[in-house]
Structure 1
Amino acid sequence: MSRPPSRRTVLAAALVVTAATGTGAALPATAAEAAPEAPGAAGAPAGPLVDNAFWTSYADWRAGAAHGVRAVSGARPSLVIATPAGTTTYADPHTGRTTTWEYATWTSPLHRPKVPATEVIASWNASTPAGTWLQVELRGRYGDGTDTPWYVMGRWTSGDGDGDIRRTSLDGQSDGRSSIWTDTFAVDDAASGTRLAAYRLRLTLHRTPGSGLTPVVHRIGAMASDIPDRFTVPASTPGLARELTVPRYSQNTHIGQYPEYDNGGEAWCSPTSSQMIIEYWGRVPTAEELAWVNPDFDDPQVCHAARYTYDYQYEGCGNWPFNAAYAATYRELSSAVTRLGSLADVETLVGAGIPVITSQSFLKEELTGAGYGTSGHLMTVIGFTAEGDVIANDPASPSNPAVRRVYRRAEWETIWLRTKRYNASGKVASGTGGVCYVYWPAKPSAAQSRALRSVGLL
Structure 2
Amino acid sequence: MLPLLRRLAPVLALALVVPVLMTTAAEAAPARRKIQYAEWRGATLSEGRFAGTVLHKGRVRIAEPVARRTYGGTTYDVGRWVSPWHEPGFALTELIASWQATTPGNSWVEVQVRGRTAQGRRSSWDTLGRWAAGDRHVRRTSAGAQGDDLADVNVDTWQVPGGVTAWQLRISLMRAGKARPTVRALGAVASRLPDVDDVTTSQPGVASGRDHVVLDVPRYSQMVHSGHYPRWGGGGQAWCSPTSLSMVLGYHDALPRPAAYSWVPDGHPQPWVDHGARMTFDHAYDGTGNWPFNAAYAGNRLGVTGSAYVTRLRTLRQAERFVARGVPLVASISFGAGELDGAPISSTNGHLLVIVGFTRSGNVVVNDPAARRNKGVRRTYDRGQFEDAWLPTSGGVVYVVTRDAG
Q: How many residue pairs get matched?
A: 381
Is 1:366 the equivalent of 2:339? yes
Look up the match of 1:135.
Answer: 110
Look up the match of 1:250.
Answer: 221
Look up the match of 2:349.
Answer: 375
CA-to-aligned-CA distance 1:257-286 (integer Å, 9 cap, x gap)? 100001110000001001100110011211
Q: In structure 1, how many angstroms separate the alpha carbons of the residues matched to 2:298 and 2:90?
A: 28
Q: How does 1:22-61 map to 2 (within 5 A)?
A: 40-44=15-19, 49-58=34-43, 60-61=44-45
Look up the match of 1:341.
Answer: 314
The two structures, once aligned, show a CA RMSD in angstroms of 1.6
The AA in structure 1 aligned to 2:150 is R
Q: How does 1:227-242 map to 2 (within 5 A)?
A: 227-239=193-205, 240=208, 241-242=212-213
Q: How does 1:168-183 map to 2 (within 5 A)?
A: 168-183=141-156
CA contact (8 A) 2:60 2:184 kept: yes
CA contact (8 A) 1:130 1:159 kept: no
Q: How does 1:143-162 map to 2 (within 5 A)?
A: 143-161=118-136
Q: In structure 2, how many angstroms separate the alpha carbons of the residues matched to 1:86 and 1:151?
A: 19
TM-aligned CA distance change 1:18 to 1:41, over 3 Å: closer
Q: In structure 2, how many angstroms separate the alpha carbons of the residues matched to 1:152 and 1:306?
A: 23
Tell me the SS of whatever aligns to 1:289: helix
Look up the match of 1:69.
Answer: 53
Is 1:12 the equivalent of 2:6? no
Is 1:219 the equivalent of 2:181? no
Q: In structure 2, how many angstroms separate the alpha carbons of the residues matched to 1:138 and 1:289?
A: 33
Q: In structure 2, how many angstroms separate the alpha carbons of the residues matched to 1:72 and 1:269?
A: 37
Displacement over 6 Å in runs of 4+: none
Unpaired runs of at least 5, structure 2:
7-13
Q: In structure 2, how many angstroms separate the alpha carbons of the residues matched to 1:369 and 1:62?
A: 49
CA contact (8 A) 1:327 1:439 kept: yes
CA-to-aligned-CA distance 1:10-42 (integer Å, 9 cap, x gap)? x634xxx397xxxxxxxxxxxxxxxxxxx9442
Q: In structure 1, how many angstroms separate the alpha carbons of the residues matched to 2:364 and 2:313?
A: 15
Is 1:400 the equivalent of 2:381? no
Q: 2:398 aligns with which of 436, 443, 452?
A: 436
Look up the match of 1:104.
Answer: 79
CA contact (8 A) 1:359 1:377 kept: yes
CA-to-aligned-CA distance 1:28-85 (integer Å, 9 cap, x gap)? xxxxxxxxxxx94423386751011100031x22211101111123xxx211112222
TM-aligned CA distance change 1:352 to 1:323, over 3 Å: same
Between the two proteins, what is the percent identity of the paired residues? 40
* CA shift for structure 1 position 176: 4.2
Look up the match of 2:173.
Answer: 205
TM-score, length-normalised on structure 1? 0.81
Q: In structure 2, how many angstroms separate the alpha carbons of the residues matched to 1:81 and 1:208?
A: 12
Look up the match of 2:243.
Answer: 272
Unpaired runs of at least 5, structure 1:
1-10, 20-38, 91-96, 189-193, 419-430, 444-448, 450-458
* CA shift for structure 1 position 288: 1.1
Q: In structure 1, how many angstroms separate the alpha carbons of the residues matched to 2:322 and 2:257?
A: 29
The AA in structure 2 aligned to 1:157 is A
Is 1:118 the equivalent of 2:93? yes
CA-to-aligned-CA distance 1:121-170 (integer Å, 9 cap, x gap)? 00001111121100000011123321111000110000011xx2110001
The AA in structure 1 aligned to 2:45 is W
Look up the match of 1:302.
Answer: 273
Q: 2:67 aligns with which of 62, 86, 92?
A: 86
Q: In structure 2, how many angstroms separate the alpha carbons of the residues matched to 1:86 and 1:173?
A: 23
Look up the match of 1:415.
Answer: 389
Look up the match of 2:287.
Answer: 316
Q: In structure 1, how many angstroms separate the alpha carbons of the residues matched to 2:365 and 2:172?
A: 40
Q: In structure 1, how many angstroms separate the alpha carbons of the residues matched to 2:213 and 2:38?
A: 29
* CA shift for structure 1 position 442: 3.8
Q: In structure 1, how many angstroms separate the alpha carbons of the residues matched to 2:356 and 2:302?
A: 22
Q: In structure 1, how many angstroms separate the alpha carbons of the residues matched to 2:397 and 2:261?
A: 30
CA contact (8 A) 1:50 1:115 kept: no
CA contact (8 A) 1:115 1:224 kept: no
Q: In structure 1, how many angstroms separate the alpha carbons of the residues matched to 2:180 and 2:324?
A: 38
The AA in structure 2 aligned to 1:179 is D
Q: In structure 2, how many angstroms separate the alpha carbons of the residues matched to 1:439 and 1:115?
A: 27
